[in-house]
Structure 1
Amino acid sequence: MPYLKSQSLSPYLKKFDKKLEKANRKLIYIGGEIRFQSERDLEDYIEDNFSELFPDLVLVKRQLSIKRQQCDLLCCTKSVNQPVIIELKNEEDRGIVSQLTRYRKALLEEKVFASQIDYSLSVMLVAIAPTFHEDNYTDKEASKFENDFCFWEFRVENHNNSGKIKLCGKTYDILYPIFGLPEIHLNSGCNYSGLPLFTLNFIGKIDKKHHEHFMALRTLFLSQPKVKEMVSPTYSKLLYGTGEGKNHKKLAEITNTGKGLYLFLWLPTAAKPNIKVPIDRFGFILAKDNHPLSKDSIVEWLVCTQGAVDLKNKPTPHTNPFFTRNGMLKWCKPNSYLAQATTGSFKTCFLLLNLIKGITQPIDEATLKWWETYKIQTPNYLGWYIDLAIKTWNYRLK
């Protein structure tokens, strides 16, 4: 098992870890908006506060699996037991009408919880999201169930570094801290109350002089949407991403072994043309006495690798360079990273221009001239690469 899951804990520790996870929920500030970190966190909030948010409804079942469909909330009205399906979205979703229509069909075929729900009444289909696309309204108008659909927008706002949600004309408290606000620099310090048990075991194995930088970096990674924190069975690795498998997106990994404490980031790389978003895993060799997790540390080498960084393989003036099969130097100096990543790879070049400058195709001559100078003067401090990894992460989630 590459990374630990809650099943790895004893029954007592599972309960304890669940309490910690619940106490550790957060909102994140990204793209000028405050949102729940994940759709699951939004569902948790709605479930925990359901009677206050929807006093006229009864929550019958969360995450109802029916005929290979999975609807978020099955409810009914208190007055006449009319069936209500609620689908929650943490971001705009153009396919929500067809999704709710499928749930409606499955529900009417199975008629679950018939003792609580009156299936002689029409099924009310409710979508709750921060915004709705024009296509949602077009699909709604084209549906023969148009009169059964309700679109309810919500908005999350900052109030003393905790959130307030506006929904259906009313405002409710969200007692979660907000990560990533530009005007607020969260001082994580070394307050470990509320850290998951797996993370506590990891941090307990690293030198205390690294704790403050680790906590700051962890806060930054967990401020990004859909990021989960996973720990290896030996508590020597922390992975940040959507999951551990090959098809999951990854943002960063921190490893702590006998060879030292290392940060790995998933960054743009040289790639074959058929790769949709050219990304690879890079480790960092820092200047002597620089902190391995500090954004101010100076980078001496980037190492493109899926495994550990082996200093014995560090190139010398007398060794031939090694390349990955996609053409990226396995070891490169910071000021040559951008040039190496984009040599012969136009897709990577366009990706980096988008991430760094916000420029999309077509590329004008002035931009190309700027790029030719910039790509050989890549910054050499670790924070630049951390910021690039975060921009890459959010680009991949689009």
Structure 2
Amino acid sequence: MDFVNLIKTGNSWKFATEADLEDFVWANLKELFGLIPLKRQYYVNGQICDILALRENKQLVVLELKNAEDRYIIQQLTRYYDALQEVKPLEDEIDYQQPINLIAIKPNFHRDNFIDKKYHHLSIDFFEFAVLLDKSNYYLQIKNLDDEKVSKIKIPHQDREKNEDIPPPSRGLMNRLAKCSSEQQEGILKIRQKVLSFDKRMEEISSAVSFKYGNGNSKTSKFCAEFYFDSKGMPIIFLWLGLKNNSSGRISRARIWTDWQGNALLEGYVPSGIGEKITSYKKLISNRIAKLYTIINREPKMLYTTDFKYIRQYCKDRNRVMRKLNNNEPIIYEECKLLEVDIERYAVGMKRYVVFDFGDYEPLNGFVDVALEKWLKRL
């Protein structure tokens, strides 16, 4: 796992949700318990088991996790045991001739838990866990209450102490971020921190494919920013900025390109959705650029008759981009790269252009600052 949701409660730390605890234990079953992951949130005969795992000898182990005190965990594990023994699922992987081992994992155990276990005939182990802070590192410590053995593993954690009022990223956002690069993850979390820290009225509104930031989700709500994830799971940033390349007082939802290293461009305005026209146009220009570089890098250096249609198209595209720049209109990243293509020397009689090494990007933080200021004025 790249990072885990932790929250501070008093002087101690805990997993933000039970799902976060389960995610981390599932990802580290081998290191913590020497177990092989089998199934999680497994439905059997009306019961849903948190985690099913195996020992090397194919013995089944059932783990039930609680992020807080629970007086009835023994009864819950008993129901899982009964359902598994009755149905005997996954028989190709599990040896049901061996006893099923039941494990309860909690931050602390109630007195009733020990009484229930004392008079129970099933094999049930109690493991108590704690999140420990050592200097700047966080660890999950798990202690077997039967034999007092302790294991500890480092927890990758995103530092959110700057503003403890900010809620941790939801599980939905964390799942989306898991498919992103480390630069994208860091960039998105920094913007999220900045936006949610800006004003107490700022809220995070999540849906299946996007995470919006504004003062609620009603018809009169004003939005500031949005992370939208496309069909491949890649993030696109939208900010509510001024029309006419952010020069107008009228606000609209702007699609932002970024290299996730601080550089950005306002590529166009999209009232809703992802902006399929912009996406298609970006792909079209990218393909044209690739063809131009094929011509440039060809050995031996020569032009074929079929090349001239790409060169003519290049001239049209370049002139269109230059008109946009002169009129202070938004241009996409691929149009910037088009201006850097030097192909004229291969075309006899073709108009000579100055190769444009485009470096006039805007700082991403600057766009976010403007979006926040404009949002505040609109409230």
TM-score relative to the length of structure 2: 0.45
Q: Higher relative contact order by CA 8 Å / sep ≥ 6: 1 or 2?
A: 1
TM-score relative to the length of structure 1: 0.43
